[in-house]
Structure formats: structure tokens, C-alpha cells
Structure 1
């Protein structure tokens, strides 16, 4: 028998088991992911009505998109369904993009986190507060909501310039800057104003050019009701009133940028998640700041308790609550709920966007999604 032919047969016999094992492993892996997706369908279909507002869920792991899917309707009038391209209002999940806009200026050498807000904005009442304290919710700023909820003419849209004017009147602070941690939406509105002042551009435009376009988030934007732009594939926001869904997208507070107001899709957010994973948004030094926490610890309260962090201490970074190995943030606004969860040791990102106002449902969906996903990882 030809020696070359014998060697060829030996090689085939040696490598055949490996090839069969590899194919079997891929089949088994595929079977597991399909089983996981079926369980996710079962979870969301049991909680989201096909003829009402709903949710979009994105899960990425180690550079791969495991699921990106919508449930329910983005527009009850037209009956259009939610999908990966649907643009949701994010509420306070937007804060991480406001922080990124500020870090972009740090990257350019135009801003330092220790810079004084009062000096930048020429507001003596803010002279003791640093940019970092705005970002980390340790500024001690008074909460603007009390005034604008009860004393503002609600026929007029509230914008960041109005919030800045209110802070110029030196409202009584909650505490001395840096003394403790207390969540403050007004701090992120002022942070957006700082970005405007330092960059010389409108905040939404600066974020679009320096954050969203850079990350390939082509359909992501800040939305200002005082100067409205069309949101393609928009998920309108709904609240239930007397047993019926009511559209609630027209709040007079929907002109405030920084604390919220980002619209994005699962598709765009997936690109952002991958850029975070690859650490390709900024230079290594500035990138490291994204998940660096304030020295002031966050009081752990019931609202922070989820299946992935119950009973743990928390810190606050740049639009993220941080515990030992998980970062997260929620978004709550009229007719919307959202939540993102990112592993700091495991390479995963979960994003849940909802166009209905139900915090209990958000918690139930994110807790169960996290548990199902961890089971999937364990069984792969």
C-alpha cells in the first residue's frame, strides 16, 4: 500500500474524533442558546401583552449578541411592534452618556474633574462644587423638582437654562459638597450645561458628534420638547389610567437634558456595549475613569436590591452604580422604565427598555432575566 495513503488514513483517524467533538460542541451550544431564548420568550410573553406597550431586551456576552428582541407595541395607534430598531426613551440611564460627554472634554484637555462648576458657569452659588461632585451625586445641590413641579407655569417647557437660573438664586443646599451621597437630577442638568459652556456647542449636538457618532449609534439622540426633532421608530411612552393606556410623551419637563432625555435602540445600545467591552471610547487613562467610583459610599436601600447585588455596598461612578463585580443603572420617567446591568468581571451586558411606567414589572423582568442568563452560562 502506498505510504502516503497510509499516512493520510492515520491523520484522518486521528483528527476525526476531534472534528466530530467540535461539531457536537457547536450543536450543543446552539441548542442551549435556543433553549435560553425560548425561556426568555416565555418570560416576556407572560408579562407583556401583544396589544399594549412593552419592552425590548438585549443581552450580550463576550462580544456576542445572545438576544435582541422586542415584545408588545411601540405605538398603540398604529399597532407597530417593538423591535431591535425601536428607539426608547432611557430616563436616567441617559446619565452615563452625559458623563461620557464630560469625559470627552477631559480627553481633549479642556476640562478637569476637579474644576469648579461655579467658575465655569460664573455662578457664585456653585463656587464650592466640582465637576466630579456633580457626576458622583455628592454636590449637596438642592433638588430643583420641588420648584418646577409646584411653582412653574406648566404651559412652558422647562429647559436647562431655567434650571441654571434657579440655581443662581442660591437655593438652600442639602449638605456641604463632598460630605455625603444623595442622588440629584439637577447635578446632571448642570453637567450638560458645563459641557455646553466648555465646548462652545449645544449639548445635544456635542454629544451627537463626540459620543453617539463615534460609537456608531446613528439613531441615538437627546430629545428636547422645546425644540423637537423627529424620533424614527419611536416607542411612545404610556401610563395606565382607569384601566386604559394613556400616552404621556408631552410633559413640560421633557426639555431637560442631562439627567435623562436620550432616545436609543437595542441596536445602537449593542454597539455602545461592545465599545465599552473593547475599551475603545477613550484613551486608557480616561477610559478607566468610567467605572471609577466616588470615595463617598452610596447608602444601600431597598430600591437598589436586585438578584445580582442584594445586600452589597455600592459606589457611584460615571452614571453607574457599582458593587464588587456588577455595574447597573435604572431609568424612570413618565411612561417609561429602563435598566442596564454590566458585568465588571464577567463580560456581559443586559439592557431592558420599556415604554410603560411599571417599576415592579421592571424589577421582575430584570431579576428573572439575570437568573435565566446565569443558568444559561452555567449550562453552556
Structure 2
């Protein structure tokens, strides 16, 4: 679905229409999504000012509680942009360099991989979840030390040599969080609060345990359809089990937040509150593969050099019951954030409508 979205955004040609008509494109798409059962929060902004925000559907289908605009969602892989930022901040503090060998910080059976390879999904590392699924005692909860131990112990074959190609890698972002801990001597979760969430006033954003999430009244549960086509809590599905027995992993996911906090994050990236503009430009530059061609991924961001509004960076996330996306048009400071808690197919259609609507408000 998201590859199709990327192609749409890359190929889209902007057509000038009047303000009311452009706004109606989005409101019509949202109304259609609501009729078809979409559940989530939609936010569209220009220069940090919210132009459109709405909450549709239910926080929990079990008790029919309504979603609100400030409700908190599991971000899934949107978390990777925060992990990448932690590495960038470590670099600016002189604690590491992007072209350092991973083996300088953590023992692993895969030589020749740099931190830059991890950031850009060009490491060739195998999938940690497959190894853990096969060998881990699922009555216990694993985190990064256990994941790294099992990768060393079983040493599954790498996919390719570092820099040869792009292949999305959750394993690489486990490594990155572990490198942050090695370089700083501090816990990754605590450090992310100290370095990012608290300074930016992202008070609804955190890396929460299952127990902590259960205590947050405004946490939107993820939902999937059962065999009868009825939405039920995704935690009841076998596909969600890994979120428990891999519940202490850090780096590739597990950040939870709401749309307004993500807008604070978005706007902070235009400033030098966290890192310099030069470092952010590196983050927005697609990696050059060994054969000289460009991939389409920087440091925690998919890169689209051309779009209706100039250069665009984006990321999607997917967990059982959740689909999330942030789209940022850098040259015009336009932002689209959608957090969905029932994996609804209308998400892409709403993003397309939001893009069309952004031409003139």
C-alpha cells in the first residue's frame, strides 16, 4: 500500500483550484473514510499551524469509547526517526561517527557494517525476529541484549554485503539503540526522554511498557477484524504475540505518541534545537550504494526528491492493529500526520486527498 502511495506522491501534478474546492477534497475523503469505518486521527498543518484535525472512530471497540484528537497511538516504525536522531545527537556530542564500524561498539558476527549502513538499511543484517521466533523461550520477555546474544549464537546468514543494496531492517535499528547505550553508558529509553521528548514538550510521547500503556486512559487500542468481520482488540490475535515476548526491544519501534506531539517534533526538525541543519541535511540525503546509484532512504526517513511541493520525506509504521504515517514537504513546511487504529484501507486515500488540499488554504 505504501509503495503505491509513494509512487502517487512522486508522480502527482498539482492542479490549481480555488481554496474551498481544495478543502472540500479533504473533507469529502474524510467523510467517506468515516462512512467506511476508518478509525484514527488526521492532522494537516502548514508552517506548524493546524489547518485540519479530526478524530474518527473508536478508541476501543469493546466499550465503544470514542477517539479524541489527543489520543495516543502506537507509532510502530515511525519510531525509527527518533532512534536515528539519537545517533545524530551522539555524533554531534563527539561520542561516535556515522562511518564507525559497528564492531567498535557491539560484538556481532557481521564484519564491515558501519553505523551509516544501519541508519540507511544497507547493512545486509538478517531478520532478528525470525531467529528469536525460532529459538526464544516465549514465556520470557526479550530485549536488545538477548536479541544480540541470539544473533551471535546462531549467526544467520546475512542478506548481502554492506552497501550493496537497500533492504529494510528492524535488526539494524536494534543495533543502533544498543550503540547509543554503549556510547553514552545510559539507558536508551531514559536518554530519549531526556534528549528529545522533554526538551520538545512532547509530554504525551514515550516508550511505554505494556503495563504503562494499560494505565494511559487515552491510549487508542489497535484493532483487527476477526473471522466474522468484526473489529476486536489486536492483542487477541496470534500475530500480536511478539509485542509481548519481544516487549523490551529498543530502536525499531515502541514509541507511542499523538498527532500534536508529532507536529511538535516535525517543527523542531526545522530548527537546531536537537542537531545542526547540516546534520539534518545528511539525514535527508539518500544513501549512495556501492554501485553508485542512490537508494531512497536517509537517516530514519524515506526520501522523495520531487513532489508537488518540492523535496518530501516520509515514513510509515505498521503494528498489529495500527497503521501510521507522517509526510513532510520540507521546502514549504507542509505536514500530514495520520494515526490509524484499525488498519483501514482508506488511509492512503486520505493522504492523497490531504496532499491535494494543501495547495492553497
Question: Which TM-score tier does this pair reach, normalised by the shorter chain?
Answer: 0.7 to 0.9
**Partner in structure 1 of residue 231 of structure 2:** 245
Residues in 1 aligned to 2:112 and 2:164: alpha-carbon distance in whole angstroms:
12
Residue 329 of structure 2 is aligned to residue 343 of structure 1: yes
Residues in 2 aligned to 1:148 and 1:156: alpha-carbon distance in whole angstroms:
11
- Residue 227 of structure 1: how far off its partner (Å): 7.7
**Partner in structure 2 of residue 260 of structure 1:** 253
Higher mean C-alpha displacement, 248-257 vs 205-214:
248-257
**CA, structure 1 residues 32+367, in 2 after alignment: closer, same or farther (shift >3 Å)?**
closer
SS at match of 1:342: strand
- Residue 125 of structure 1: how far off its partner (Å): 1.2
**CA, structure 1 residues 351+367, in 2 after alignment: closer, same or farther (shift >3 Å)?**
same
SS at match of 2:270: helix
**Partner in structure 1 of residue 94 of structure 2:** 109
- Residue 84 of structure 1: how far off its partner (Å): 2.5
What does residue range 67-146 of structure 1 map to in structure 2 within 5 Å? 67-121=52-106, 123-146=107-130
Residue 189 of structure 2 is aligned to residue 208 of structure 1: no
Q: Calculate the aligned-residue CA RMSD, in Å.
A: 2.6
Residues in 1 aligned to 2:196 and 2:143: alpha-carbon distance in whole angstroms:
22
CA contact (8 A) 2:297 2:303 kept: yes
CA contact (8 A) 1:339 1:353 kept: yes
**Partner in structure 2 of residue 294 of structure 1:** 287
Residues in 1 aligned to 2:50 and 2:212: alpha-carbon distance in whole angstroms:
35
CA contact (8 A) 1:48 1:54 kept: yes
- Residue 223 of structure 1: how far off its partner (Å): 2.6
**Partner in structure 2 of residue 331 of structure 1:** 317
**Partner in structure 1 of residue 175 of structure 2:** 190
- Residue 164 of structure 1: how far off its partner (Å): 1.0
**CA, structure 1 residues 278+119, in 2 after alignment: closer, same or farther (shift >3 Å)?**
closer
SS at match of 2:283: coil
Residues in 1 aligned to 2:272 and 2:266: alpha-carbon distance in whole angstroms:
10
**CA, structure 1 residues 224+46, in 2 after alignment: closer, same or farther (shift >3 Å)?**
same
Residues in 1 aligned to 2:325 and 2:181: alpha-carbon distance in whole angstroms:
27
- Residue 53 of structure 1: how far off its partner (Å): 6.6
- Residue 36 of structure 1: how far off its partner (Å): 5.4
CA contact (8 A) 1:72 1:82 kept: yes
**Partner in structure 1 of residue 28 of structure 2:** 42
CA contact (8 A) 1:239 1:335 kept: yes
CA contact (8 A) 1:181 1:297 kept: no
Structure 2: which 5+ residue stretches go unaligned?
A: 1-17, 306-310
Q: From 143, 146, 151, give the equivalent of 1:167.
A: 151
SS at match of 1:197: helix
**Partner in structure 2 of residue 62 of structure 1:** 47
**CA, structure 1 residues 98+232, in 2 after alignment: closer, same or farther (shift >3 Å)?**
farther
Across the two proteins, how many residue pairs are aligned to each other? 329
SS at match of 1:289: helix
**Partner in structure 2 of residue 322 of structure 1:** 303
Q: Highest Rg: 1 or 2? A: 1
**CA, structure 1 residues 252+200, in 2 after alignment: closer, same or farther (shift >3 Å)?**
farther
Q: TM-score, normalised by structure 1?
A: 0.79
Residue 208 of structure 2 is aligned to residue 218 of structure 1: no
SS at match of 1:142: coil
Q: TM-score, normalised by structure 2?
A: 0.83
